[in-house]
Structure 1
Amino acid sequence: MSEKHLQTGDVLPPYSGKLRLFAMRFCPYAERSVLVLNAKKLDYDLVFINLDHKPEWIFQFSPKGTVPALEYEQGKAIFDSNIINVYLDEKYPDAPLQATDPLRRAEDKMLVENFSGAQSAYYTAAFNAQALQPNMVENYHKGLEGLQKEMESRGTKFLHGDEAGLVDFTIWPFLERFLALPLLGKTEFAIDSAKYGLLTTYIEAMKTVPAVKAYYLAAETHAKFTESRAKGDPNYNMLDTSAVCCMRPRKKKE
């Protein structure tokens, strides 16, 4: 698979008959759906797109041109990671990723919602540092503290239980990126093992989950991409080391 991000003027790769996910390699929301597809051990194609110079055809699958979008039949797609992931879990019920108890499913959704403040703080710290306010750092750590408290209450290896589930795959992409913040000089966002012992143990456990391991990027890699994006020139193709052997060539301009 090529890591090349297709852009304006590039043609849509031919449909193979498999599920096809349109994504951006460094997007945490797209990663959520990649992890679910991996966890389900589904056969799928992955197409990366440049979000600054979007190929015209992405709007056929996602009206706003956002990722992820899942093409489940040729020319038919659903978008938004939450919608996609619930669909996948219900469509392919083997190895279910959601709790069977309705109350626990509700608790998982509330946990994700309560964690959103930390996600917001991350985006400001990473891409708009001049707008960072002290209360945002506080919100970030409140999110981490709430997550650690919930893990302590549940007493399981993962939030879902003894195996990682949808709630883990929803939160993990942000934790993966949080680890890059100290490398960008944002030391106040460090996840200190002395304070967050249970959380750091969880992070290390998540790195070993096969679905995660197959897609995981190191903090140094996320930091490098973040720096390029913060400068206004995101290097989408920084991981691409292969020729685009399975994609049609870009159209020539008349």
Structure 2
Amino acid sequence: MSEKHLQTGDALPPFGGKLRLFAMRFCPYAERSVLVLNAKNIPYDLVFINLDQKPEWIFNFSPRGAVPALEYEQGKGIFDSNVINVYLDEKYPEVPLQAADPLRRAQDKLIVENFSAAQSAYYTAAFNAQALQPSHLENYHKGLELLQKELETRGTKFLHGDQAGLVDYTLWPFLERFEALPLLGKSEYAIDKSKYVILLTYMESMKQVPAVKTYYLSADMHAKFTESRVKGDPNYNMLDSSAEVCCFRPRKKKE
């Protein structure tokens, strides 16, 4: 699969008769839908787009040009990862990813909602460090603590149970990226091994889930892309080139 991101002026690839997901390789929201498609073993095509120079046709599937967008029939699309993923789970029920119990489904949604402040803190720390406030760090670690407490309370390998489910695939893309923050000079955002034993065990288990393993990128990769974006020249196609991408040098923390 090519990692090339199509941009303004590029033609829409021919429709192949399968579901087609429009994404950006480093977007956590798009990754959510990739993981769900993988977990449900649904055949699909994946098209990456440049979010700074968007191809004109993406607006036919997503009015704001945002990803992910899912082409469920030729020329017809829906967008927003939450909308897409619930649709996929209900349309293709053979591998259910949501809890059967309505209360547990509600609780799973609350976990995701309560984690949103940690996600917001990540974005500020990674892409807008000059705007960081003490509350960002507090919200970040509060989110991690709440997630670890939930894992401890449930006592299962994954939040969904013995197998990863929609709640896990919804949270995972951000946890994957959190590990890049220390490489970006934000050591205070590290997920400490002594404090987050249960959470880190969970994260290692998630990395081995087949749906995740085939799409996972290392902290080094995420840090390298983040650096390019912060500099104003996001290297969308860094995985589709022969350039060396495995030796990212951590950014020195400013005193």
For 2:19, the aligned partner's letter is L
Cα shift readout 1:168-224 (whole Å, capped 9, x = no counterpart): 000000000000000011000000010000000000000000000000000000000
Are residue 19 (structure 1) and residue 12 (structure 2) matched?
no
SS at the partner of 1:71?
A: strand
Show the counterpart of 1:189.
189
* Aligned-partner Cα distance in 2 for 1:222–1:154: 30
* Aligned-partner Cα distance in 2 for 1:233–1:66: 19
Structure with higher RCO (Cα < 8 A, 6+ apart): 1
Show the counterpart of 2:238.
238
Q: Structure 1 runs of 4+ off > 6 angstroms?
A: none
SS at the partner of 1:48?
A: strand
* Aligned-partner Cα distance in 2 for 1:204–1:162: 14
SS at the partner of 1:239?
A: helix
Cα shift readout 1:59-106 (whole Å, capped 9, x = no counterpart): 000000000000000000100000000000000001100000000000
Task: Quote the offset at 1:241 in angstroms.
Answer: 3.7
Show the counterpart of 1:78.
78
* Aligned-partner Cα distance in 2 for 1:135–1:19: 41
Following superposition of structure 1 onto structure 2, how do residues 38-49 of structure 1 map, counting pairs within 5 Å?
38-49=38-49
* Aligned-partner Cα distance in 1 for 2:206–2:241: 27
Q: What is the root-mean-square deviation in Å for CA atoms of aligned residues?
A: 0.7
Show the counterpart of 1:228.
228
Show the counterpart of 1:92.
92
Show the counterpart of 1:120.
120
For 2:101, the aligned partner's letter is D
Following superposition of structure 1 onto structure 2, how do residues 62-211 of structure 1 map, counting pairs within 5 Å?
62-211=62-211
* Aligned-partner Cα distance in 2 for 1:71–1:65: 13
Unaligned runs of at least 5 residues, structure 1? 243-254
Cα shift readout 1:123-162 (whole Å, capped 9, x = no counterpart): 0000000000111000000000000000001000000000
* Aligned-partner Cα distance in 2 for 1:132–1:190: 16
For 1:20, the aligned partner's letter is R
* Aligned-partner Cα distance in 1 for 2:104–2:42: 26
SS at the partner of 1:54?
A: coil
TM-score w.r.t. the length of structure 1 is: 0.95
* Aligned-partner Cα distance in 1 for 2:230–2:104: 38
* Aligned-partner Cα distance in 2 for 1:14–1:38: 22
- Percent of aligned pairs sharing the same letter: 81
CA contact under 8 A between 1:2 and 1:241: conserved in structure 2?
A: no
Unaligned runs of at least 5 residues, structure 2? 243-255
SS at the partner of 1:57?
A: helix
* Aligned-partner Cα distance in 2 for 1:186–1:132: 11
CA contact under 8 A between 1:99 and 1:160: conserved in structure 2?
A: yes
Are residue 53 (structure 1) and residue 53 (structure 2) matched?
yes
Following superposition of structure 1 onto structure 2, how do residues 243-254 of structure 1 map, counting pairs within 5 Å?
none
For 2:196, the aligned partner's letter is Y
For 1:210, the aligned partner's letter is P
CA contact under 8 A between 1:159 and 1:165: conserved in structure 2?
A: yes
SS at the partner of 2:96?
A: coil
SS at the partner of 1:143?
A: helix
Task: Give the length in aligned residue pairs.
Answer: 242
Show the counterpart of 2:37.
37
For 2:228, the aligned partner's letter is S
SS at the partner of 1:175?
A: helix
* Aligned-partner Cα distance in 2 for 1:159–1:185: 30
